[in-house]
Amino acid sequence: MRGTHRGWRAAAVLMLLMAPAVLRGGDTSALKPPKGATVALMAFEDLQCPDCAAAEGLLLEAVAKYKVPLVRRDFPLPQHAWSFEAHVMARYFDTKSAALGEEFRRWVYANQGSINKENLRGMVERFADQHGMELPEKYDAKGELKKKVLDDYALAQQVGVIHTPTVFVVSVSERGAPFVETLDRDQLFAMIEKLQAAEKK
């Protein structure tokens, strides 16, 4: 377990070293809706971020109202003690099913105030047990899930993300200005409607 913690610390250090590149970012060309969708919400999130937890309800409301997909991107901030590990765990639950990974992320946001670095593993084991499964001791033995988190982090740098949440409304042909840290309901919904209308022309 100690070696695993060293791996997470190394990843956090790597992200800190990469941080200056964020300021040179701003290329949003890679942000596109998933196949079959014309408009989507693209959210760069940190599972330990209170603002991300606060934004969750509005994002889910928008998804339900406008029938658009929510694409979650990992952007664990290096200053958060347990966020990176939680993102890797979320990726583990994704391997079981997309629905379970989504439920896990919502569960983390709902229980954020009760989670800390010391009890994260036990809390997540409880989540797994409630779903009739066991969290393996080495759930990312090959580092493949960690790589997915770091790939999302690199994408965030390319885009120019600095704060969480950063939410883009993206269409096949356009990307709206991002909502950073706080989401305004009226502005978010207006942006979705604007891009949906443009895609119908």
Answer yes or no: are the C-beta atoms of 156 and 22 closer than 8 Å. Answer: yes
Q: Can you list the domains of the chain with their CATH numbers? A: 2-200 (3.40.30.10)
Strand ranges inside 10-155, DSSP E: 39-45, 70-74
Residue 185 is encoded by which pair of tokens?
């309901």
DSSP secondary structure letters along 122-159: HHHHHHHHHTT----S-TTTTSHHHHHHHHHHHHHHHH
Residue 116 is encoded by which pair of tokens?
């800390």
pTM for the complete prediction? 0.86
pLDDT given for residue 26 in this prediction: 81
Confidence grade of residue 46 (pLDDT, cut at 50, 70, 90): very high
pLDDT given for residue 159 in this prediction: 95
pLDDT given for residue 8 in this prediction: 46
Residue bearing tokens 């009760």 = 114
Phi, psi of 146 (to 5 degrees): -60, -40
pLDDT tens readout for residues 110-167: 999 999 999 999 999 999 999 999 999 999 999 999 999 999 999 999 999 999 999 9
pLDDT tens readout for residues 77-89: 999 999 999 999 9
